[in-house]
A and B are shown apart, each in its own frame.
Chain A
Amino acid sequence: MEPRNVVEVGTRVRVADIAPPGHVRTPHYLRGRVGVVERVLGPFPNPEELAYGRRTTPLPLYRVRFPMGELWADAEHPGDTLEAEIYAHWLTIEEDPDAA
């Protein structure tokens, strides 16, 4: 997703499944998972650059909602949800599987 293009609430997004070095604030357990944008925040400076004293271009920050069943195969209640803040450059728009 182009970092500066803000996507709307309700957009399905996938967290990048990558493992870059450095100060990263995307938890491992969310990488590769699909959720829905719950709220658009920001723009906020990118902590991956801020942590090293670099100039940063502020990025949109999203609160993404994941069903627990998407995160854990043995979730006690798969319909329970988890929300986390993810910076725009970690997200790609995910096609809706139900769309014709």
Chain B
Amino acid sequence: MPHDGHDPLSPSGHPYRPDQDEPLTYWQCMEIAIRELLVEKGVTTDAAIRAQVQTMDDRGPAQGARVVARAWADPDFHHRLRSDGSAACRELGIEVGPMKLIAVSNTPDLHNVVVCTLCSCYPRNLLGLPPDWYKSREYRSRTVREPRAVLREFGTTLPEGVAVRVHDSTADMRYLVVPMRPDGTEGWTEGALAACVTRDAMIGVAQAAHPKSDGI
């Protein structure tokens, strides 16, 4: 235990997280067994596995922001992104992986939001690991049931007349929302534009905004 007494709260006032002292499950044992066999047979190494885990953990939303910034700056690229998301990303040297990418664009009349009701499908190569709330039962069940209420809880209230479109990522596609380009960004470089594009805007629970102007 991380603490000897019985105080349920740490000195910082948060509850202690329980230690994970439970025995390994069947599938955890299987994973370890297969990993050890692969290392023993020289197929891979412990260091290579550790490096790959770190690479996966290090992915963030910067790649997705690059794609959106290019789409804002180059209407032809935006068009290609909408017709074949994976191929357009490849133009920027970004490999989306075995799943296909569908880019959906917000317009003055339409707001898109992405959810995976069945699990947590997410374009990880573009956005990194999904946030915990994206995988929560509440987000997964309510986004298809009452998307506008969910958006309001994220602080996103849509103007009158904007339709909402929910994308349930049920199978082989992964989704990227291309948010509306913020006003007052004419002539900005792609690097400056990318700074307006947040992870949440690319999931569709928020809008893109000028850096430092998002109310924080």
| Alpha-carbon separation in the docked complex, A82 to B166 (Å) | 5
- For residue A77, which residues in chain B have a CB less than 8 angstroms away from its CB? 148, 163-164
The answer on a CB contact under 8 Å between B173 and A85 is yes
Q: A41 within 8 Å of B by Cβ?
A: yes
Given A80-B163, A80-B164 in contact, is the A86-B149 Cβ separation under 8 Å? no
Determine whether the beta carbon of A61 is less than 8 Å from that of B172: yes
> Which B145-180 residues have a C-beta within 8 angstroms of A?
145-149, 163-173
Let me know if B135 is at the binding interface, CB within 8 A: no
B172 near A76 with CB under 8 A, answer no
A53 near B: Cβ within 8 Å?
Answer: no
Q: How far is the CA of A81 from the CA of B164 in the complex (A)?
A: 6
Interface residues, chain A, CB within 8 Å of chain B? 25-27, 29, 41-42, 44, 47, 61, 63, 68, 71-72, 76-77, 79-87
Residues of chain B whose beta carbon lies under 8 Å from any beta carbon of chain A: 100, 102, 117-118, 144-149, 163-173
Contact (Cβ within 8 A) A83 B148: no
Task: Given A80-B164, A81-B165, decide whether A42 and B149 contact each other with a Cβ distance below 8 A.
Answer: no
**Of A44, A68, A71, A72, which is within 8 A of B172 by CB?**
A44
Contact call B146/A76, Cβ cutoff below 8 A? yes
Complex Cα spacing A9 to B145, Å: 25
Most buried by B among A61, A72, A79, A82: A82
Given A27-B118, A72-B145: A61 and B171 interface contact (C-beta under 8 Å): yes
Cross-chain contact A85 with B165 (CB below 8 angstroms): no
A41 to B165, CA, bound (A): 19
Task: Kindly state the separation between the CA atoms of A84 and B143 in the bound complex, as whole angstroms.
Answer: 13
**B178 CB, min distance to chain A CBs, angstroms:** 16
Shortest distance from the beta carbon of B68 to any chain A beta carbon, whole Å:
20
Expressed in whole angstroms, the minimum distance between the Cβ of B95 and any Cβ of chain A is 19
Q: In the complex the two chains form, is A27's CB within 8 Å of B168's CB?
A: yes
Across the interface, B118 reaches (CB within 8 A) one of A25, A44, A79, namely A25
Given A27-B118, A76-B146, A76-B149, answer yes or no on A83-B168 (Cβ-Cβ < 8 Å).
yes
Beta-carbon contact of B171 and A29 below 8 Å? no
A68 to B170, CA, bound (A): 17
Q: A14–B148 Cα gap in the complex (Å)?
A: 26
Question: Could you pull out 14 A-B pairs where Cβ atoms are within 8 angstroms?
Answer: A27-B170, A29-B144, A29-B145, A68-B166, A71-B144, A76-B146, A77-B148, A77-B164, A80-B147, A82-B166, A83-B167, A84-B168, A85-B169, A87-B171
Which of A29, A72, A80 has a CB less than 8 Å from the CB of B165?
A: A80
Contacts of A27 in B (CB 8 A): 117-118, 144, 168, 170
Nearest A-chain residue to B149, judged by Cβ: A76
